[in-house]
Amino acid sequence: MCSVALSSAILVLHMPVWIEPLGQIMEYSRILTAVLLAALAVQTGVSRPARNARPTKTKESFFPVAVWYGGGKVRAPMLEPINDSSAEHWGKDLDQIKAVGFNTVKTWVDWATAEPRPGQYNFANLDLLLRLAQDHGLRVIVQIYLDSAPDWVGQHYPDARYVDRSGAVIDSQAAPGYCIDHNGVRSEVVKFLAALSAEANKSSALYGWDVWSEPHVINWAEFPYLENPEFCFCAYTQARFREWLRTKYHTLDALNAAWYRSFERWDQVQPPRFPTILSYTDYLDWRAFIEDKLAEDLKTRVDAIRSMDTTHPITSHAAAPGLFTSPTDGYGEPDDWKMSSNADYFGTSLYPKHSESTKPWSDLMLAAGLDFTRSAGHSFGKGFWIGELQAGQGATGMRIANPVNAQDEQYWIWQVVAHGAREIAVYAWYPMSSGFESNGYGLINLDGTITERAQAAGRVASAIARHGAEVLNATPAPAEVAILYNRLSYMVGGSQPSLSKLGNAERDSLIGLYNAFYEQNIPVDFVHPEDVIENRLAQYKILFLPFPVMLSRDVADGVKRYVDDGGTAVAEARLAWNDARGFASDVIPGAGLAEVFGARESVIRPTDKIQMQTEASTALPGLPSHTAIAGDSFEEELEPLNGGMILGRFADGSAAIVKNHKGKGNTVLIGSFPALAYYREHDANSKRFFLSLAQAAGVSPQLEISSPGASEVEVRRLVGADEQIILVFNHSSTIANVTAAIRLPWTIRDAREWQHDQPVNYESNAGQTVFHKHLAAGQIWVFSIRGS
């Protein structure tokens, strides 16, 4: 969980699992096979790039709705010592968990407790919980904590400690463990995971795995005595970085040319520790390496578990959707797309009322974060898992967040389902019993009494379980609108703070643009640079490039192909100003995009208040001429090139918006940052502008909502072959009389409400099916429609 505090792990007092010599030999033989299969990862520290194979599905109709429970009241990743009464007490807890409505528990194994001495595995806690869960009709997901590493690892490999860029060496205090780039540590990790996998697979209660909670280079520890810490600069990570550079540049001469350096030997090459005025290509390489390293480290874990388990799904989850984090973080932030490619599912933690948040998440923030996480899996034809969903009031010492109530819990769970999740794990059954999060985040009270929010969560869990097959055989309604998520744009200026006036402009631009369509219930996908490069954009009629100030040549070429094939690309100011090396383009837009977009930058000026006025044009349907569109931070005066048509001007009459036709498609270049402006100012004209561009590209909404305050009514659809699940959320503080008109590909034969299992009335009108509902403030309406 976010901001988890760890103290020394408690060792269980039972004997190790393997007692009989013959059984021990057989188990070691199986594990040795697994280690040999993972030899490449152990020897090189770099996993194979191939995507992880999907496992055989256990039960297509079983949708796991879990609550975190590890046996007793101890907080993860700690484990409670087992005694003679453990089975009875844990069994009573599991009875309550099932009675409330959950069908799964998510338990955990921490390395320090499970392997107290090298090769001596103690899985007594896991074995007992698996047995009890099976007896009580519950499935089990196993969370693995390697960050809580045994002390003997540090004693055997003292040079495997993490090192900050300042040179400070980190001694583990139950956390953060030791660097996996050390081959000895990596080998021990693989052996442990293979043994754990073999042990858990003895139980039919096992449902799946979560092999890495909230991945970073370094986890579960903070270092206030270090200024801007960054990891890891140990000798082994540096050696791995050099191998990454060899793969990219092939020769030392090529690296020297790229970095403007004069290395004579590869062993002289080090990661950059500070910025210079000359170039920051070295920094960009370092950040790209960290992204690849995290993804490869995930694959090492996945492969080790998979070596002894060919059946169950293997997953991981981020600390938060990557939309809300920065790839420049010194602890290492994962790229959700790269992580998703290396596991069966990749997901996220979700804490909308975390005590460390400046305020509770808005409906917009929750929806955007979930769509972002969903999009990362969508690129590979996968769903996503929610590794942790907040269960109770956030607490960090005396920093106590707003209470979590029953309405919060059911709303969050339904939102997760509406976005296409394939699993939910509520964190946690009991509140935290120790650490600086003490008494926080629990679904029930620490004395065991059941809360209203636990009952509410259980009711939703039961409803989902009843309709598990329907949910699992449907996916979110396909999007025709794509927004490029481009991590390079966060790094203009390298590690030197830049554009501080703009704040987190890339993130805010993404959310602002997303919001324009979210308010109209128009589905949106975020897409990754690799989606553009690999030509995975065919389903989208329009591609937005917000805040595109740094762009690789490969992505630029992908945008050209997309437009040539008939797509519409819309880009904001300073398109491809910098390339992937951090070098300025001779012409802006760079990378040959000036010709594609039919304009180039003439002058750019910082301006406090920016307005662009539209010209009369059929290219902006529904938008009258002289409509004022807000920009932000800069006016980029555009010079139209051959074929470029001016759609809007700045106050001085210079070109602000230029449209061009290229190949079979169209482009629009905007000389400011209107998505950022919409995030900050929420100007109605800006939304109308974005919607007009989408309409011109052929985006056709599949549903229409008519009711007072329609923008506060959110409708989500999960679409199957002959069935759709409709989820309607009234976000307003007043009653809403909702009319939803939906275009369906078939004739309805049945429509039923989930919460009360009763028929839903509807009418057909002009090719649309119309549903009416009187919704109270905050009410959620879920129903299924089946066709014939």
pLDDT in tens, 717-773: 999 999 999 999 999 999 888 888 998 888 899 999 998 889 999 998 777 899 999
- Tell me what pLDDT residue 538 has: 97
Lowest-confidence segment of 81-85, 495-499, 581-585 by average pLDDT:
495-499
619, two tokens: 């290219």
Instruction: State pLDDT tens for residues 98-133.
Output: 999 999 999 999 999 999 999 999 999 999 999 999
The mean pLDDT value for 670-699 works out to: 96
Residues 6+ apart with CB under 8 A from 509: 546, 547, 572, 673, 675, 676, 679
Does the model's pTM come out above 0.75? yes
20, two tokens: 């009989």
Q: Count CB neighbours of 776 within 10 A.
A: 11
- Has residue 621 got a pLDDT over 50? yes
CB 218 within 8 A of CB 231: yes
Q: Count CB neighbours of 524 within 10 A.
A: 24
- Tell me what pLDDT residue 701 has: 87
- CA dist 486 and 531 (Å) reads 11
> Which runs of consecutive H residues, i.e. helices, occur in 307-400?
336-341, 363-378
- CA dist 246 and 355 (Å) reads 44
Beta bridge partners of 613: 628, 649
What average pLDDT does the chain have? Answer: 91
Confidence of residue 496 (pLDDT cuts 50, 70, 90): low
SS3 category, 169:
strand
Rg of the chain over Cα atoms, rounded to whole angstroms, equals 27
| C-alpha to C-alpha distances, 234 to 45, 103, 168, 241, 584, nearest whole angstrom | 14, 44, 10, 11, 33
Instruction: State pLDDT tens for residues 294-308.
Output: 999 999 999 999 999
DSSP state of 401: -
CB 656 within 8 A of CB 635: yes
- Tell me what pLDDT residue 709 has: 65
- Tell me what pLDDT residue 40 has: 40
β 645-649/655-662 pair status: antiparallel
- Tell me what pLDDT residue 26 has: 37
771, two tokens: 């549903």
Lowest-confidence segment of 54-63, 518-527, 609-618, 662-671 by average pLDDT:
54-63
- CA dist 100 and 451 (Å) reads 10
- CA dist 784 and 723 (Å) reads 7
672-691 burial code (b ≥16 CB/10 A, e <16): bbbbbbbbeeebebbbbbbb
- Tell me what pLDDT residue 497 has: 54
- Tell me what pLDDT residue 430 has: 97
- Tell me what pLDDT residue 5 has: 32
Length of the chain in terms of residues written: 788
Residues 6+ apart with CB under 8 A from 165: 229, 230, 231, 233, 271, 273, 330
Looking at residue 606, its amino acid is: P
Region for residue 774 given its phi and psi (left: phi exceeds 0; alpha: psi -120 to 50; beta: otherwise): beta
